[in-house]
């Protein structure tokens, strides 16, 4: 029973993160409507966030298969590391966007 508790906590954490990210991507559709014909950054960002969510779902399914004995340990570790890389990439993109915004705000008018 002690083994299931951390797994259930991790599963619910992934579900909560997925729900929050899904809610965060919904306003992006409003941003795309007001964007010009130049590149559509909001749509690109929403697609990348959705990719991270999808990768998380793959990892969750792989973990569930591992618990039920249907998956290989190597496949599960690979799926988890791919999810970790996707999340780290999104964090890097977020940091760069914030840095660019701060740099723009420091520019003299």
Residue 105 has pLDDT above 90, yes or no: yes
Q: What is the pLDDT of residues 44-78, one digit of tens each?
A: 888 888 888 888 888 888 888 888 888 888 888 88
Choose among 69, 91, 64: nearest CA to 80. 64
Q: pLDDT higher for 12 or 86?
A: 86
Residues 6+ apart with CB under 8 A from 17: 56
Regarding pTM above 0.75, the answer is no
């Amino acid at each position: 029973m002690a083994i299931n508790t951390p797994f259930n906590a991790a599963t619910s954490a992934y579900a909560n993160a997925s729900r929050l990210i899904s809610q965060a991507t919904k306003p992006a559709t409003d941003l795309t409507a007001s964007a010009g014909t130049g590149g559509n950054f909001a749509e690109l960002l929403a697609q990348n966030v959705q990719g991270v969510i999808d990768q998380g779902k793959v990892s969750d399914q792989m973990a569930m298969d591992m618990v039920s004995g249907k998956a290989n340990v190597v496949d599960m570790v690979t799926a988890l590391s791919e999810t970790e890389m996707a999340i780290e990439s999104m964090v890097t993109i977020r940091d760069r966007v914030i840095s660019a915004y701060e740099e723009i705000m420091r520019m003299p008018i």
